[in-house]
Structure 1
Amino acid sequence: MNVKIKRLSEHAVIPKYAKQGDSGFDLVAVEDVLIKPGETRKVPLGLAFEIPEGYELQIRPRSGITSKTKLRVQFGTVDAGYRGEIAAIVDNIGNDLAKVQKGDRIAQGVIAPVIKATFEETDELSESERGDKGFGFTGVTI
């Protein structure tokens, strides 16, 4: 699949897959961003995409950032029709000021197919083993 990318910053890095078989490609910050404890900030990535119709760009956390820092990249969706700059939405769950630096591989992107649903309103739903039992129904082990 060919995906057109427009560089919006001289610091933008055109994505590439690090290893054969990877589903995600790194997304790189194009400017320094300070994130106070408890704050959420957008980290500009300096790129705009032309995602083919029927697909989306998912912006996801990188495992290294999540496991080694107090920064949490929030999952995001870039729709096929969007042509503006993409950004990573990042929370600082720590107690200290955090700095994302220009050039940091802050998130990863995945191109995924979109399945369109047709919604049908009804008064009854079929029975299932779970029924209406919600969060934690199968147990929680920590």
Structure 2
Amino acid sequence: MSTTTMDSGANDSQLMNYLVRMIVPMRREFGRSVDVQQFMHDFAYAREVIDQALGSQDARLREYANYVQQRYHGARVADSPPPAARAPMSSEAVEPKATPASGTAADEAELRARMLKKYTSGLR
């Protein structure tokens, strides 16, 4: 498994997190029910929801829509950091894991071993 596959999975879950956060404000302000599954698979529907959310009076909803817009159908890692609302809850700084610069076999084997370890340890 390559690091880009793992990174896109994490970014997809972050994108889903923001979509779920948009559901209640969209219902309150516009009376619209947001279908997350349809949003992820229907570009026209997603564009419509994002455009409506960007026109919101709620600053948080506009911020969420901007975040989703930047990451939805383009590069999954945007230049700007996520909004301040997503700052870590603990006082400890979260250190990003170092990713290998090259796709060598040793790096691939290490990543695979780490991934498979969760299946070989623990209760069965």
Q: If the TM-score is normalised by the length of the shorter chain, which range does it land in?
A: under 0.3
Query: Relative to total residues, which structure has the larger strand share, 1 or 2?
Result: 1
* TM, length-normalised to structure 2: 0.24
Q: Which has the higher contact order (CA 8 A, sep 6+)?
A: 1
* TM, length-normalised to structure 1: 0.23
